[in-house]
Amino acid sequence: MLAKVCCVTGHRIIPAGQRERVEAELRELILRAINAGYGTFVSGFADGTDQMFAQIVLEFQAEFSVRLEAAIPYAGRLRCSDSEFQSLLARCSAINIISEQYYSGCFFARNRTMVDQSDAVIAVYDGRQYGGTYQTICYAKAVGRKIAFIHMVP
């Protein structure tokens, strides 16, 4: 059984001109993680990077014994009407809800929880020094997690 855990952080908007490259690099990093013994992959299920990551992990489930887990910041997020979100969520091995109610720090709490339970982080990052992706990368560095970067141009 593959025991190590990897989570993702990244921007919600991936520019159209970079989407194909980012997806290919994300696919390669996930495959490398699987080959290195990672068996559980955690996504925060935001638009963009998180859902791209989730889709790729689910594609690999047919070939490898891997799990996709959702880290949902607050229970109300489960009512998202987006059909892609719901389709991906339905295929998760586990859904972890961080807070029953929304509060201003629930997304950061979700990101921190994902990092805390992970051995490594994949970050799709454009270099800006603010926002959730930046905060998550800083936290992951502070607690000593391995981070693999996919760089985007802002």
Domain CATH number, residue 146: 3.40.50.450
HSE (CB half, 13 Å, CA atoms) of 83?
Answer: 0
pLDDT, one tens digit per residue, over 109-128 is 999 999 999 999 999 999 99
Residue 151 has pLDDT above 60, yes or no: yes
Question: How confident is residue 3, by pLDDT bands cut at 50, 70 and 90?
Answer: confident
pLDDT for the residue 2: 59
CA distance 5 to 2: 9
CA distance 77 to 83: 13
3-state secondary structure of 125: strand
Q: Give me the number of domains the chain comprises.
A: 1
Both ends of the chain: CA-CA distance in Å?
39
Residue 1 has pLDDT above 70, yes or no: no
pLDDT for the residue 153: 86
Domain that holds residue 31: 4-151
pLDDT, one tens digit per residue, over 8-52 is 999 999 999 999 999 999 999 999 999 999 999 999 999 999 999
pLDDT, one tens digit per residue, over 59-89 is 999 899 999 999 999 999 999 999 999 999 9
